[in-house]
Structure 1
Amino acid sequence: MKYTTILPSEELKDLISHFWVCTWDVPLEKPNNTYYVVGSSLAEIVFAFNGNSKSSSFLFSAIQGHTHLANQYPVEGFYHLIGVSFHSYAIPCFFNIPATELNEKFMPLSKFLGNEGTMLNEKFAMASSTEERINMLSDYFKSLLRQPKMEDQLIMKAIKAIKNSNGNSKIEALSQEFGLSQKQFNRRFKEFSGFNPKTYSRVIRFESVIKQHPTTSSLTEIAYENGYFDQAHFNNEFKLFTGFNPKDFWNLSEQNN
């Protein structure tokens, strides 16, 4: 498997984490009939093909919401994916809906976007290169920024504070800092992140662990550095988010690279 990431433009960098391309070797591997999802603060739009050549057929597209649970979805067998990963708090900005509407969702893009999704599918199917498709996606998201959108600058600051602390911020202190009751803070936070503050913090902390490996080979060290009470707590949390224990998850990742 070959996995490549592409950074977004300056205009999109605060809302989009990255574009990405993933390709499997057609002669050596079986087609992928399952789409795996792990806990993530990011939502994704993905386009699937049966290969990575100009003659390859477009198979399907889907939008996957942010989630704190691992899941698996049956799909038409693919060898090539092109996707975009955007922060859950970008959902109100791009689509003018609460982030909660995409929490743990996996659905066809045409169902979510209607005619716009159908048109994107048609353009993707007709495009002749990955670069053209990434530019197409970039232009689409730029166009969304010019439309009316939901905004909550206060909560955006709180979300970024939790991200910057790798999920180790004190939630009660944050709500007091922004002059909100705990109930108000939780409601507004969930609307813009898709998670309640504590769950969002857990997901961000998990993502911090993923980013740190393979900088250290000690799982215990990773756990303590990221605020886990002990190895057992770390293992339980990791299995909830990925469906695997840490060693099996990273062994699987290495096999796929």
Structure 2
Amino acid sequence: MDYQRILPCPELRNYISYFWVGTWDVNLPPNDIYYVVANSLTEISFAFEGNQREDDLLFTVVQGQTHRPQQFKVDGFYHVIGVCLHSFAIPKLFNISATELYMGFLTLETFLGLEGRELTEKMALAATTGKRIAILTDFFKSLVRKRQREDQLIAQAVQIIKDEGGSTRINELAQEFCLSEKQFKRRFKASTGFNPKLFNRIVRFESVIKTNPDWTNLTEAAYNNGYFDQSHLNHDFKTFTGFSPTDFYKLST
């Protein structure tokens, strides 16, 4: 698979983590299973028959933040363009609690109605990846200007957890923001859809995935990312992806 990440413009960086583009070899069988693994982000994806101008847009997916791996049968695709949103940005962009998308898997039109249908049509008609990223950028800029709701304190807390790679002590973080742990948990879940301890754990697991080129074995990966031992990391692999580490990495070959 040819995979690339594209950073959003400065105006959107408090809402969008990154855009991504994945293209598979058309000489291989098409992807007809959509894999979902534990993810602290919310994704909106557009799956195409291929990466040529005339190739059809097959389906859209709004995948909410989740701690549970899932698999969905879909039309065979070779090309996907996606946007990964910070879960704390969901209230700001869509004026709903992030909990409403937690573990969700639905079409863009189901989620946004006419607005989603119009965006889907624009993406289907665009000729290049660059134009599709521009369409998404304009769409989210318009949302930012329209929506008014966001908990800035929780946005800061999420950033601290991400900066610390999921090794944050949640009780200490709550004290830092002058909140009881119960208040912090309630506000954090309303903004992100996650219990803060579970979010912290997923971010720690994501740090292992992100640092894959930097470690030589799973024991090293576990200790470098704050796990007590490799067995705890193996447990998180199974919990968050549905696969053992070996089987998980086979998916990208």
TM-score (norm 1): 0.95
Alignment of structure 1 residues 18-33 onto 2, 5 Å = 18-26=18-26, 28-33=27-32
* CA-based RMSD: 1.1
Alignment of structure 1 residues 1-257 onto 2, 5 Å = 1-26=1-26, 28-253=27-252, 255=253
Structure 1 residue 117, shift from structure 2 partner: 0.6
Moved segments of 4+, more than 6 Å: none
Percent of aligned pairs with the same amino acid: 56
Structure 1 residue 14, shift from structure 2 partner: 2.2
Deviations along 1:153-179, one digit per CA (max 9) or x if unpaired, are 222222211111111111111112211
Contact 2:89 2:150 in 1 (8 A): no
**Separation (CA, whole Å) in 1 of partners of 2:4 and 2:167:** 30
Contact 1:95 1:149 in 2 (8 A): no
TM-score (norm 2): 0.96
Moved more, 109-118 or 79-88: 79-88
Aligned residues: 253
In the alignment, structure 2 segments of 5+ residues that lack a partner are none
Aligned amino acid, residue 14 of structure 2: D
Moved more, 159-168 or 149-158: 149-158
**Separation (CA, whole Å) in 2 of partners of 1:124 and 1:160:** 31
**Separation (CA, whole Å) in 1 of partners of 2:51 and 2:128:** 9
Moved more, 107-116 or 145-154: 145-154
**Separation (CA, whole Å) in 1 of partners of 2:161 and 2:197:** 10
Structure 1 residue 206, shift from structure 2 partner: 0.5
Contact 1:93 1:145 in 2 (8 A): yes
Aligned amino acid, residue 130 of structure 1: T
Structure 1 residue 45, shift from structure 2 partner: 0.7
In the alignment, structure 1 segments of 5+ residues that lack a partner are none
Deviations along 1:148-201, one digit per CA (max 9) or x if unpaired, are 332212222222111111111111111122111221110100111110110000
Structure 1 residue 90, shift from structure 2 partner: 1.4
Aligned amino acid, residue 143 of structure 1: S
Contact 1:43 1:87 in 2 (8 A): yes
